Amino acid sequence: MAKILIVDDDNVTLSILKQVLYKANHDVTTAIDGEEAIQYVKNTVYDIIVTDFNMPGMNGIELTKEILKINPQAVIILITAYISVKAALESIKLGAFDYLTKPVDKEELLLSIERGLERLKLLEENSQLKKSAKSSPPKVEFKFETKSEEVRKILTEAADVAQSDSTVLITGSNGTGKEVLAEFIHKNSKRSKNTFVVVNCAAIPEQLLESELFGHSKGSFTGAIRDHKGYFEIANNGTIFLDEIGDLDTPLQVKLLRVLQTKMFSRVGDPKPVSTNVRILAATNRNLKEMIKEGKFREDLYYRINVFEYHLPDLKDRPSDIIFYFEKFMKEYARENGKKIKEISDEVKNLLFQYPWPGNIRELKNIAERASVLCKNGIISSDLLPDRIKIDGDLAAKEPVLIDEEVSSDYEISKNELLKEFERDYIKKHLKKRV
């Protein structure tokens, strides 16, 4: 059964078409003109829209344009007189699915609708294949490279934690590598050969998120024309990474808590419980403790997801990674663009070192790509950097000095040794004077 909207300014035609489709077990809604049809489409997802071409006010081409703005995957079938076939073909170029000429043959109409439903099925299957492809584990060896001692300590512990099925909460600003750390944990776990699914909770519309996470059954809501697997089913026996978990609304927080407690969930529209064997990793750039105080995040869920918690520092707080990552990204983009990078100037290194990096590693990577594309002589000079890098770098220091963590550590050791030597000499001299 399909949900079908018929649009025609002739009540007799509406009645006939409705009876034909009703007898074929379809759910039929009628509209007397384009304006009324648009209001229906804004509030309901229809599988098929059958519309007359010649109508007062909004004609078939105009209606097709407006419907496709609302729902780009809408299946639109135009009904037209012979003299309007050329215009109907124009509508098909715009995105309409098919056209039928008057008088409409019953069998042709039902066949066109059947083909339209098959198209919807193929679109859904294609969407599922894309999800599966995105969630398939990479075939290359996964690495998390860093020069930061703080991040190295996190990786050392995370590699051990990866062997368990414990939930992990990863916090940090956008662009600090939270997804990379999550993938590192998955690739070092006993689930590494199974699916790793990434879900950005902030990127999926709130009204669709439950269905995307847990799936839905056919007929559970308007537009649910077939069963749909959610990410928790796709990730079964693997790992699901819930990025931006702080953006979940309260009802979904309750459902997620149930999954963590019972290892069970229910598809939308189907009360039958479905068991799941999936490891949950989560991440957020928000302060969940503050959200708990404000009543925006459940405290019981918070303690469920942060059995282990790792905070990734901002790039500006791990200076040894700035030049390291820049050089790494430069090499990668040089290979992609068929270029040879001979040198990165000291001026560039100093500017990069002094810049605060509000976008963190993600911003650094973009800067490296830009410089690689623009470089013509194999030398990365300051003129290849965006103005914001040069301005902020100049403001930070007139004569910036590059200091990595190892140099800084050596300096502290040397300084302490010199101070101790000075103290010894000073004490000896004063003791001799007293003697």
CATH numeric code, 316-396: 1.10.8.60
Q: What is the CATH number of domain 137-313?
A: 3.40.50.300
The mean pLDDT value of the chain amounts to 84
The DSSP annotation for 283-334 comes to: EESS-HHHHHHTTSS-HHHHHHH-SEEEEPPPGGG-THHHHHHHHHHHHHHH
pLDDT tens-digit readout, 33-78: 999 999 999 988 899 999 998 888 888 888 988 998 898 888 999 8
Against a cut of 0.75, is the pTM above it? no
Sign of the C-alpha dihedral computed for residues 276, 279, 285 and 286 taken in this order: positive
Q: Tell me how far apart the terminal alpha carbons of the chain are, to the nearest angstrom.
A: 109
Q: What is the pLDDT of residues 343-391, one digit of tens each?
A: 999 999 999 999 999 999 999 999 999 999 999 899 999 999 999 888 7
Domain ranges of the chain: 3-129, 137-313, 316-396
Is 137 a residue whose pLDDT tops 90?
A: no
Same CATH topology for 3-129 and 316-396? no
Q: How far is CA 158 from the centre of its chain?
A: 23
The CATH superfamily label for domain 3-129 reads Response regulator (3.40.50.2300)
